[in-house]
A and B are shown apart, each in its own frame.
Chain A
Amino acid sequence: MSRGVAITGMGIISAIGNNVAENYQALISETKGISRISKIKTTHQNDIMVGEIAYTNQELETLLGLTPDNNYSRTAFLGAIAAKEAINDANISDINKYKTGLVSATSVGGMDMTEKYYYEYLDDATHRKYIAGHNAGDSSQKIAEQLGIEQSLVTTISTACSSAANAIMLGARLIKSGQLDRVVVGGSDCLSKFTINGFKTLMILSDTYNTPFDDNRKGLNLGEAAAFLVLESDAVVNSENKKVLAYVKGYGNANDAFHQTASSDNGDGATLAMEKALQVANFSSKDIDYINAHGTATGNNDLSEGRAIIRVFGENVPDFSSTKAYTGHTLAAAGAVEAVYSVLALQNNVIFPNLNFKTQMQEFSITPQLTFKEKPLQTVMSNSFGFGGNCSTVIFSKEA
């Protein structure tokens, strides 16, 4: 059980860039990807802001070399783009040379197409090809096909906004136990009218730029993204002489068991998740150099998460920031997006600023990192929390 889990490749597409390099550039130049929505017609257009990816579905189809008769949802398009980048980044030419699986995450699945053609399907056959693409697992099947993964373990996790963190966790466990030599892990979620209206009913959408950990925060901006990591066993790394970007060192999942959507006031679930992750990594809280917080900028999350961080780290809270001001909250993809950012932070020894912050929260005295900072980093902790009380923490490190 002491095997290392190496990250040997990464891919991402988000509102701040179509690949890892573009995302990094935007992060260090403090360029936000938040704007008014343009690709979905909604009556809330002027009430919300989103993190939208510039490419149209047609452009994504062309990039992937797909013929127009495909039945990809936008979730599948985005996922395939990011997963392919990760495979290229890991220099993998023969994917089936080692026992390779895919663990993906999504919350909307093919809802973007379903909501477009929901009634039209009934009396017009034109778009019925998308019906089979609605269920969440379909996007993962397509991503696996794009990567050439055949006759292997492919599955999908959906635990709302912690989904991709959980995909990373399962992938790491599959490698540690020796079930797989290599796992592509991550998540993909596109924007949809369904989620926009859903979060609207919960009254947690900001009408302006989201401001994580700010006393006057007004809620979150939804975003769309996909991000994937290639995880490989020590054996593969050694025999292929692989360059390792970082390691998945610890992970923990716990349930808040408090409320269907809200987090408990004292962040019980979040505290448990962080503690478990530290335990798996065999770390004490002092060993964490930077926390990429969940930090959605809702009243509830940031208070609960902040209190949980204080419970775990006491007087010595490390530098922390939320990158959701850049990308918006990308739901099931968020854990993978922020895993990529955590690895970028480790690789470059930098901490990305928590943008848009103006006013210190009254309930506690911890303040996120507000400016771009260079600092030697050995470890990064990343938090992802979701509806259903689902709380996840993953720890990344330079050393195995």
Chain B
Amino acid sequence: MKSVYINSVGSISVQKTYESNNFLEEIVEYNDTVIPAQDPNYKDYIPPAAARRMAKGIKMGIVASKMALQDASLEQVDAIITGTGMGCLRDSEKFLSNILDNDEQYLTPTPFIQSTHNTVGGQIALELQCKGYNFTYVHGSNSFESCLIDAKLQLEQNEAQNILVGGVDEIGEHTVKLLKLVGQIKTEPVNSSELLLSNTKGVVFSEGANFFVFSNQQQASSYAEIVGVDIFNTLPIESVSNTAESFLKDHNLSVNDVDLVILGNNGDVRFDDFYNTLTSGIFKETQQAYYKHLSGEFHTASSFGFWLAANILKAQSLPKVVKLNDKNTSQFKNILLYNQFCGENHSFTLLRKC
């Protein structure tokens, strides 16, 4: 069985991550409930004729993919695997409101086509002319982690050598209204540096695209090795610690071997206890980090956490802004990520320095 490496990264987020060489040195702070992504100059990456029908999610996905390919010095990959919770939400909303507002008349196909969940993955394939394997996972906060499992399986078995993997989601205006009504998005703005102190229900909602090239060939630019990924549809809070320990044990590690644990805390007072049980429990003495104050929350926000972990392992340094406690470590070898959303769809991901 072959090892699996993260050979490159590409990120569009609410931070200026599209600038290469900017590893969270300059932070954009927010005081809001919904934050849109920082746009790169899309025209630098996508010809106007191709861009004219593209939803923002597609543009973000294509640019993040192209950045990842560039970073890996690759023109082509063997497969493309995309995760998205909601797909191109704006076009879905547009098509549905057109149906309802115009009594099913004068509807045009473009927003319907974009509303299909695999439209980002399909468009990337079209842009790259990649005829390989092309899957899209749409399973809430485990959409991106499902991609990891799939890609890892193929690379370990040498069914593919280079796979483009990413998570992408976009904000939709009507959906935001609805999610506020049911308490999933905060109704009061919160300053990003105080996200975990909000003591209110709901999240700060956002969007973004994080893409990576995974390979079973290590190269000079490699960021990290992907050691393990496990997802769980349910996980009672009492079982989170045990599950973390047995996940580590599956990879011949114990809590003490973890140099950094990166958690998906999003400031939702109803569900952050899933993380707190780890930070005040088995990982009390471990260096801890969080990132959703920088990325906002969306179904594939954990792909930003993954981007963070990959960068930490490559740079061997931890940006101050993500620190959750004041523990330190001399080096970063093993990083454990844990994420869940609304108490569902939990994931553990283990990355190692390579």
Residues of A that sit less than 8 Å from B by CB: 1, 42-44, 102, 106-107, 109, 111, 114-115, 118-119, 121-122, 125, 128, 131-132, 134-138, 140-141, 144-145, 149-160, 166, 170, 173-174, 177, 179, 193-194, 197-198, 200-202, 253-261, 268-269, 272, 386-390
Contacts and interface: CB of A to CB of B under 8 A. Distances in A.
A128 B126 contact: no
Nearest to B233: A154
B108 A201 contact: yes
A141 B233 contact: yes
A137 B136 contact: no
Contact of B174 (A118, A137, A138): A118
B117 interface: yes
A261 B116 CA distance: 10
A4 B174 CA distance: 47
B52 to A, nearest CB: 13
A135 B182 CA distance: 14
A269 B137 CA distance: 20
A253 B133 contact: yes
A269 B163 CA distance: 18
Interface in B291-313: 299
Nearest to B141: A137
Interface string B150-177: 1001001100000000000000001101
24 contacts: A44-B104, A118-B100, A118-B174, A121-B178, A122-B178, A122-B181, A128-B182, A131-B179, A131-B181, A137-B143, A153-B230, A154-B231, A155-B137, A158-B87, A194-B96, A194-B99, A194-B115, A201-B107, A201-B109, A255-B130, A258-B126, A261-B109, A388-B125, A390-B118
Given A135-B140, A157-B138, A159-B136, A152 B232 contact: yes
Given A151-B243, A257-B130, A138 B140 contact: yes
Contacts of A141: 140, 233, 344-345
A115 B97 CA distance: 9
Contacts of B115: 194, 198
Contacts of B112: 194, 197-198, 201-202
Given A42-B104, A388-B121, A173 B178 contact: no
Nearest to B147: A155
A183 to B, nearest CB: 12
Given A153-B149, A388-B118, A159 B134 contact: yes
Contact of A135 (B85, B103, B119, B132): B85
Which 7 A-B residue pairs are closest in the complex by CB-CB distance?
A388-B122, A154-B233, A198-B112, A158-B117, A137-B139, A201-B109, A137-B140
Given A154-B345, A160-B117, 6 more contacts: A131-B179, A151-B239, A159-B117, A194-B95, A255-B132, A388-B123
A198 B89 CA distance: 15
Nearest to A115: B96
Contacts of B133: 253-255
A200 B113 CA distance: 12
A387 B80 CA distance: 15
Contacts of B345: 137, 141, 154
Looking at chain A's contact residues, the main secondary structure is: mixed
Given A121-B181, A153-B231, A261-B113, A140 B122 contact: no
Nearest to A196: B104
A151 B234 contact: yes
Contact of B135 (A119, A159, A179, A202): A159
A260 B52 CA distance: 14
B126 A151 contact: no
Contacts of B231: 153-155
A42 B100 CA distance: 11
Contacts of B139: 136-137, 140, 154-156
A136 B138 contact: yes
B79 to A, nearest CB: 9
Contact of A386 (B118, B131, B143, B157): B118
Given A197-B104, A257-B126, A387-B119, A157 B182 contact: no
Contact of A260 (B100, B126, B177): B126
Nearest to A194: B96
A79 to B, nearest CB: 14
A268 to B, nearest CB: 7
Contacts of A257: 125-126, 128-131
B46 to A, nearest CB: 15
B122 A135 contact: no
A255 B131 contact: yes
Contacts of A200: 104, 107
Contacts of A253: 133-135
Contacts of B116: 107, 158, 160, 387-388
A387 B118 contact: yes
Contacts of A114: 96
Interface in B197-240: 230-235, 239
B135 A166 contact: yes
Contacts of B118: 158-160, 386-388, 390
A390 to B, nearest CB: 6
Contacts of A132: 182, 184
A389 B178 contact: no
Interface in B36-89: 80, 85-87
Contacts of A128: 178, 181-182
B142 interface: yes
Contacts of A107: 116-117
Contacts of A140: 139
A2 to B, nearest CB: 12
